[in-house]
Each structure stands twice: as structure tokens, then as C-alpha cells.
Chain A
Amino acid sequence: MIELVRAGRSFKARRTTVHAVRDLTFTIEPGEFVGYLGPNGAGKSTTIKMLCGILTPTSGTVRVAGLDPSRRRTTLARRVGVVFGQRTTLWWDLPLRDSFDLIRHLYKVDRKVFAERLEELVETLDLGEFLKRPVRQLSLGQRMCGDLAAALLHAPEILVLDEPTIGLDVVSKAGIRDFLRRVNAERGTTILLTTHDLGDIERLCRRVMVIDHGRLAFDGSLEEFTAGESSLEEVVTRLYTGS
């Protein structure tokens, strides 16, 4: 579903070249739920932007659903759902309902299919009472639910989530985790999730990838990841600090 072969991305900044990501090689099969970890500035967002076609890789190849994201950006957009935890993909001043309706048109979703999906999403994410409210008036948790619904309305095969639980309270987090687990299990949607919240990883991901200084530092199952350590925190701290 997602395939990176020696993918690299460097930026030129004042005579020096910064390698945000280098030699990244991994494959994600359909239906997987992968946690993508790494300290701030390790290259997580760069990877995600390459997967969505927002950034063009400087070396290697990236294939998502068999397509080159930077060349087939709009075609791919119909098959991928993206959520940025730090900023909304919804229209800030429009009521949630209008945002959803725009998405229906932009992604050319059949009206009947759309109505069914929306109803299901509104019910599971408990969005009913917020539909008429402009996005800017929603709380962070409500907005994130709205963003998740928006990313799933066109029934994407792949869901890419960049820190979806950032800043949320315990209850909202639990709700969103539960929802993501169901999406992965029931629809078979492939999910790639970056997060700083180890709870997300522990409760959701069967596979963990860690990126550090632009290189893949670990790629394996959650069990392998935590093997021989008492807690996830310790593993991560050890990896991040390089000790």
C-alpha cells in the first residue's frame, strides 16, 4: 500500500544541506496499523508530506497505492485521508456541515453513499450537535472528531494521521483511539499514525517504526519493540537519547 525505497529529502539552507529524511526504506501492507515515532525534528512530518505529494522527494522512490504522490497528487488525494493534529483541514469559518458538503463535492462522492457514511460517522464520533457550528467555535476535541470524519467521508484506503491526539483530554483521546481501532478493524483501512503519546502506540499499533535524524532506527512489531524493557517509555527514551 505504501512503499518507500531509499527515499530521501534534503533542504538547502544557507549553503548547508540539511537531510530531513535519508535512505528511508519501508513497506506498509494493506490493513496494517503502524505507529510512526520519533523525536521532534526527526523527519516524521517530512515523510508524511512526501506520502501526500506535498513534498517531492530528492532521492529514492515513494509509492502510495501504486502511485507516485508528487506526480499524481490529485488522483491519490481521492484514495488517501489525511489529518493534521496541529491544524485543521476543515474550513475555519464555515459550519461543520458545510465543510462536509464541500468535501462531498470535491471528492465527488455519490449523494446517497455520502449521506449514509456521514450518518454513521456523526453517530460514532458523536458530532450531531456541532454540525451547524463554525469550526472555529469547536473545542479541540470536537474539531479533531470533525477532522477525522472529514478525512473518512470519501472512504479512503489509507489514513495518514499526524499527531491526531495532540492536546486532547483523556476522554477525547480514548474516544478517538476507540474510533481509529474500529476503522482499521471494520473497514480494513491502512493507518499510519505519528504521535508523541505512547498510549496511542500501546493501545493501537501492532507495528512500530522509529525515525531518528532522518533514518529509520527501528521497524518491527510492538512486542519486539518493548521486548526486555519494563515500559514503553524506557524504550523510547533510550532510542531518542541514543544511549
Chain B
Amino acid sequence: MPAPGHGLSSCRHAAEVTILYLKLIHYSFRRHATYVGAGLAGAFTNSVFGVLRAYILIALWQARPGLGGYDVTAAVTFCFLTQAMIGPMQLFGGGLTLPERIRSGDIALDLVRPASLQLWCLAEDLGRAAFLLLVRSLPPTLLGAALFGITAPADVPTLAVAFLLGLLVSFAWRYLVALSVCWLADDRGVATASMLLMTFFSGLMLPLNIFPGWFGELARALPFAAMVQVPSDVYLGTADPLPAFAFQATWALVLLALGVLATRAIRHKVVIQGG
């Protein structure tokens, strides 16, 4: 009877793989934890920008109360949430060690490992995000609460789901950007373009729901909205959780699938063509 035994071994295999990735998350968390100073410095900068942008939003909402379905408190809350998400969502780009490994050629070593490159990177990225959530998200949020009084999350479990889905989209996007180094001589252009899209169309600079007309509709349909705007709306309770999750999950799946294809292409390029 091979079937049950087979089932058992595959079950054990799955458990081992899960433990491997959990360990990777843990190691990555610890590695980033050696840079607490830099993390707190980043949190400080994010907090300062939070305060400055909050004043601008207050002025706007005083002129237009109820704009975009937010009241003044919701707008200020949104402002500090976006600053809090810069770290974990890595809105200015980067966060992955992949481009350096591609440039140094170490990527070949990563590709021969009997594990998925994409999952490996995702695990490391989750560890990074978990650490930055602690040092770079809490301070701006607390400061916002102390200075301006922000609202509490509408529902913590749904917020957690929206946040995780946002992280997936952010990772999947940055993974694609990182892999593009393989095909481009000068990757600074792509890196800058990506930063531009992630900072502007995520909702970091202004809530996307006040972007006018077709421009607003476009902005709200792009994957970047899934990183900041949607989790913030779930936090504020201004978005229905289920459609919000569906939007984020769709983009996560699409971008992760593209990542799988890109990984295959780079494997082909590195392993078969030899770099």
C-alpha cells in the first residue's frame, strides 16, 4: 500500500518546508534587527513628514469637510498610516538583496538551491517587513495619536489580512523590479520609475479617493493602491473588507505569477546561457 505512506511523507515534507520558510523569516528579522538605529532614524523622518502632511490635509479638509468620504480625523489618520507603511511596504523601493546577488553573480548559487527563489525572497522580505513594522510603523502612528488624535482601527483581524495582502503585492512588484536588472544595463531608470509609481499611486502623497476623474479611477485600479490606500481604508472602516481583499488578492496573484515566469526566464538565462 504505497498511497498512505506516500501521503505521510509528503505531509512531513510540507511540514519541513514550512519550518524552513519560518526559519528564513526569523533569520531575516534578526538580521534587520541589527539596524535598530537606522530603523528608528527612518521612523523619525517618517514622523516629521507625517506631521507636515497632516497639516496640509487638515487645511484641505477644513476647506472641504467630508471630502472623499473622510472627515478631518480620518484624513489625519490616513496621513500617519501612510507614513507608517513606508517601512514595511518599502515604498521607496529596494528591500531585496536580489539586485546585488544578480550583479555579483551569486544568483547562480541561489538558483541551484532546491527551493523556490521567489518563496525564499518572500520569506526574507516578510522578516524584514515584520521588523520594520515594529520600529518604523509604531512610532509615527503613536506620534500621530499623541499630536492630532487619530482613530483606532475599525477591526484588527481584517486590518491584518489587508496589511498582509498589501505586503504580498509590494513584494511581488519589487521582485519583478529586482529581476529586471538581469536584462538591463542600467537599472537606475527602472528603480526610479518604480519608486515614482509606488510613492505616488499607493496613496502615500495624497489619498487616492480625492484624485479627480479618470486619473483617480486609474490610480485606484493599479496594484499600488493595494499597498497603502486599501489597507488604510480597511483600517478606517471606509472600505468593505471583502471587495478590498479581492482587489488585493487579484493583484498579488497576477504579480506573483509574473514573478514565476520571470524566475523561469532568469533560470534559463543563468543556468543554460551561463549568465
Q: Do chains A and B touch in the complex (CB under 8 A)?
A: no
